Chains A and B, each alone.
Chain A
Amino acid sequence: MATAVEREIHELGGKLRAAANAWAAGDGVFDEDDVTRLRHRAIALCHAHYRAAIPAYRRLCDEASVADDAPLAVLAERCVVTDDLFKSYDTAWVGARDFAALSEWLRDVCSEPVPADAGAAHDVDDWLERLERGGLHVLYSSGTSGKLSFVPRGEASWDAYRANGPSYLMHQIQRLGVDLSAMDCAVLGFRGGRMGIQRAGVELARYIAHVHYLYDSEIRAEMLRALLTARSAAAADAARAGLAVGQDEAYDNFLGALRRGTKCGRAFWLFGAPHQVKQLCALMQEAGAPALREGSVVTLGGGWKSFEGQRVDRPALCALIEAALGVPAARVLEAYAMVELNTPLMRCGDGRYHVPPILEPYLFDEALLPLAPGADVTGTFGFMDPTATSYPSFLVTGDEVRLTRERCPCGLVGPALLGEVRRAPGHEVRGCGGILATVRA
């Protein structure tokens, strides 16, 4: 049962979405001062709610002497958490099938009731399904560390997660002249599952009738875990056996679907991670496949992550996409998103990831102290997303960004990330006392 504070937060969330819509429309209705007041009110309420309902957050506040009425600057300095919070459990519990312990951990980092029967789960997927049946939507991410992050959302936060993006993204899509009824969707991912990076494709598929998936099955957490923990090629192969088709066959089928749709005159909305789209382009060129129909769109999401070695810069990737798929750079969309974020940042045609007015962005220095706002500041990106009440959504990432508050040529106002997003430096192992990167003690 939602508390009065939670209800107020989500009412404010609705108003923030409406404001974000106005912001994206650029029709002069958007009032930045007004939305800032709304957002700050929602953040203050979130803080009080987290403090009351999330034990781990409460401990942080107590230790840092942060009360319910702490000002925003204090929250930014002392109460932002990191994405490691969502994987602060002991992996041995998963190996030992101790889902009672895992559920107890979830209760520590989450404001929502955790269904009691989740503790009786027999594997991770069963645990996630039991949580879902109990009204707790848990998405996971493998990140770059190989350990799964679990991010829980109750119904209200889940609704916000699904509604925030569309509230402002539709204007960008409309400006592209996209006709969803004349399009098929092609997702370089799984048909379903709870992996965060897959969700954007799944959500996109809600708006388009015909959807083709690289893998026409759900991604299972246990399979992903087996892949991530495989210590040999043979073990990885064994884990992949859970897929109905191999990667080569999957791409062959995917290319076939693109070819058939194109032949029928259908444009495509293609969604995938940059390294996947790059691979698809190479395969399309190798096969001499025809370009996609005019009006097609490519959306990139998820970043390069462990495929950093394959990274090409944005102009090079766009050139490849145009050459292989026939989709011009203006129709290559890209989002900055993470499983802990309800509110993705879309990249505009001028190369900026715009921060929707739902979010309060912060940059942090190497000591994890907030940097003073400025017209053009570089630091580690963090945000407060007051539409998430299920978990502490005052978060600092591991990404180094340049945040500008100058008006964008595209017409959008407010803060935006300029240029490429990179992993923040400063975590190098130092000297003789440096330690083995994979050692746990």
Chain B
Amino acid sequence: MSGTRTRGSVSALALCEHLDTAGLLRADGDAIRVPVLARGRLVVPEGDAVLEIREATIDRATMRPDGGARRLVLPRVAAADLLYEDPGTVRARLAAVPFAALCDWLDAAAELLEPDGPLGARVRTLVAAASDLADPLLDAGLRLNATMMRAFAVREVVDRELAAGGVPGSRFLDEWVEVDAPVWDGPTGALRAALASAPAPGAAPSPHVRALPTLQIHVTAGNAPVVAPASALRLLATRSGGVVKLPSASILPGAALAVALHAAADAHPAARAVLDALSLVYWKGGDAAVEEPLFDPAVFDRVVVWGAPDAVERVSALAAGAIRTLTFNPRYGVSLIGREALADDAALDAAARLAAADVLVWNQRACIASLVHYVEADAGGQGTAAGGDAADRWAAALREALAAADRLAPSAPSLAALGQIQRMRRGSLVGARWHWVGGPGRDARAAVVVAPGPFDLSSHPLSRVVIVRRVARLDDALALLHRGVSTVGVHPEPRRLALRDPVAARGVSNIVPLGHAERAFAGMPHDGMRVLSDLVEWTTG
């Protein structure tokens, strides 16, 4: 239970008292002093060596800016604080940490982060004040941040994602695993035997494989409060070391993770090497003074970058081909709605409500969230008798579903998104038919837009705005799918099964039942990659 001492570690209550004493992670006027973690050391903002991030505060009733602002004050870190003098020794120390000890430490940190506990509640209050996520989404996100760090969850993910030949992944982290496979000596095998001065005393030692830790840099995105903790957890789950750059748009969940990991470490000395190799920090993206010395291929083995095209491009250039780089490029989701969904009002309502769920994912800021709906219908045919074009019937039903969602999980576009919606309405999509939730103009809370032609996705405001396009056959939408589409939700299920192969052939990573864009499971590939497998160094010995 949160707030009580667990396995000798600090309690969440005591941790909060410590934070209070230090004036950290609490609203102090318009400022919040935020600590970060630099190679296992908690660093607090002091003096002039600080960075400030301004955030607009939100009226939680309307989910619109309330005119207020606050400052997050963070310590300025230098690249030297994050590099390792002897990377080989660091990797060796990491490799010696038992996976079970790692899991125990993460479990203790997860306990501290539980949303019902003092630290979780404290962080929730701070995050909520400037978050445009409705309570149900925000609470689910923060709970997920704690749950995914639980020992059972980490072990499940590692055992599945790093598994090979029926051997659970954690064994590969802990030990050299004998390979149960035929061995080939190579073209020189016969020569070696011929050159041998004496017969070999026995069979050659069998090969073994181990998943060794790496040193990683993760440049994360702030589109959801779970991204930075999830990326950090991948680093931790591979029992690796490195730097996680927190995103300016979601600093506090990462800072809370830093505090929890640090606080839990004393009671878990066997995992100490992982904490000592870990940095959870912030610098302004593009700060050459930090980034140029940091991206050193003599130190780091992997770079992971999430987010906007400019960030991906910049970070990839920093890695310059010398550090293996995993990029989670900007992608988006779409929905394919078969004509069965328009068969009658009940089917329409049910499908629209499923589709709305895929729109709500992090208010459309996640790469799996659906932005475009391709609706299968004949031109002016099915649905016309019901008072409108089929696409408009779908749009009207979806508008109702989004209105219902707004009552459950209210949301309002940011000022910039509102401006972008107005630009679309009065420009590129002036010929479209708009179905508003909340009304046009400044009252808009969501919108469904029946577009007469192709839409330039670079101008999408990502704020519960759905572009609807009619297609004569769902197959016609295949031509509009490509590697930029991460997720396709298809309805009804028989159509999904029929389309799964051709959709996958376009480079789409997830083909899911409508309403299940966020579906996940332990060991699930991400953007076509088994990420943990790419983050360890598979070594034979």
Q: Is B110 positioned at the interface, with any CB of A under 8 Å from its CB?
A: no
Q: Is A433 positioned at the interface, with any CB of B under 8 Å from its CB?
A: yes
Chain B contacts for A92, CB-based, 8 A: 453-454
Q: B136-148 interface mask toward A, CB cutoff 8 Å, 1 = contact, 0 = none?
A: 0000000000000
Given contacts A432-B223, A439-B457, contact A82 B334 (CB under 8 A): no
Q: Is B100 positioned at the interface, with any CB of A under 8 Å from its CB?
A: no
Q: A411-439 interface mask toward B, CB cutoff 8 Å, 1 = contact, 0 = none?
A: 00000000000000011111111111111
A311 to B221, CA, bound (A): 31
Cβ-neighbour of B458 out of A81, A433, A438 (below 8 A): A438
A431 to B423, CA, bound (A): 21
* Cβ distance A320 to chain B, nearest Cβ, rounded Å: 29
Q: Which residues of B pack against A, CB within 8 Å? A: 221-224, 227, 247, 249, 306-310, 328-332, 334, 362, 364-367, 369, 371-372, 415-416, 418-420, 422-431, 434, 440-442, 452-460, 462, 467, 469, 480, 482, 484
Residue ID in chain B nearest A108 by CB atoms: B431
Q: Are A433 and B462 in contact (CB under 8 A)?
A: yes
Residue ID in chain B nearest A104 by CB atoms: B431
Residue ID in chain A nearest B483 by CB atoms: A436
Given contacts A368-B422, A368-B423, contact A431 B428 (CB under 8 A): no
A296 to B307, CA, bound (A): 51
* Cβ distance B250 to chain A, nearest Cβ, rounded Å: 9
Most chain A CB inside 10 Å of its own CB: which residue of B308, B334, B369, B371: B308
Q: Are A56 and B431 in contact (CB under 8 A)?
A: yes
Q: Are B306 and A432 in contact (CB under 8 A)?
A: yes
Q: Are A81 and B309 in contact (CB under 8 A)?
A: no
Query: Interface stretch among A83-91, A219-227, A331-339?
Result: A83-91
Q: Is A308 positioned at the interface, with any CB of B under 8 Å from its CB?
A: no
Residues of A76-104 whose CB lies within 8 A of B: 77-78, 80-85, 87-92
A78 to B444, CA, bound (A): 13
A87 to B456, CA, bound (A): 12
Q: Are B222 and A431 in contact (CB under 8 A)?
A: yes
Q: Are A367 and B330 in contact (CB under 8 A)?
A: no
Q: Is A64 positioned at the interface, with any CB of B under 8 Å from its CB?
A: yes
Most chain A CB inside 10 Å of its own CB: which residue of B367, B420, B454, B457: B457
A428 to B334, CA, bound (A): 21
A312 to B327, CA, bound (A): 34
Q: Are B330 and A429 in contact (CB under 8 A)?
A: yes
Cβ-neighbour of A88 out of B331, B367, B430 (below 8 A): B430
Q: Are B309 and A88 in contact (CB under 8 A)?
A: no
Cβ-neighbour of B418 out of A59, A368, A431, A437 (below 8 A): A368
Residue ID in chain B nearest A90 by CB atoms: B453
Chain A contacts for B459, CB-based, 8 A: 427
The 9 A-B pairs of least Cβ separation, nearest first, read: A431-B223, A84-B427, A90-B453, A82-B427, A434-B330, A433-B365, A84-B428, A368-B419, A367-B415
Q: Are A427 and B420 in contact (CB under 8 A)?
A: yes
Cβ-neighbour of A440 out of B309, B332, B457 (below 8 A): B457
Q: Are B308 and A431 in contact (CB under 8 A)?
A: yes
Q: Are A78 and B441 in contact (CB under 8 A)?
A: yes
Residue ID in chain B nearest A440 by CB atoms: B454
Chain B contacts for A32, CB-based, 8 A: none
Q: Are A426 and B416 in contact (CB under 8 A)?
A: yes
Residue ID in chain A nearest B65 by CB atoms: A367
Cβ-neighbour of A91 out of B310, B331, B334, B454 (below 8 A): B454
